[in-house]
Amino acid sequence: MALKAGEGLQRWEIAVTKKLVGEYRRRSRSLAREEFDDLMQECLAHWIVVRRRLPPDPDAPPVAYMAQVIRNKLTDL
């Protein structure tokens, strides 16, 4: 579950993003009008940029940090 350099997105990263995008789309009228896949793509692209700046720690995946980054991105949209 840890981040590994040079690899694509992990399953847990996609799962966290799907969960949060779904929650925010249900609560927000403006996000409800957006396509689910478009929101997923925008959030994951943002996460990839942020993730590159994180120091690798194989014992502690940044799940909580990622969730906060995605929440902030969805709020900004």
Nearest Cα neighbor of 41 from 9, 63, 64 is: 9
Q: What is the pLDDT of residue 61?
A: 76
Q: What is the pLDDT of residue 26?
A: 96
Q: What is the pLDDT of residue 1?
A: 46
Q: Mean pLDDT for each consecutive 10-residue tract of the chain (77 residues)? A: 64 95 96 96 95 83 92 96
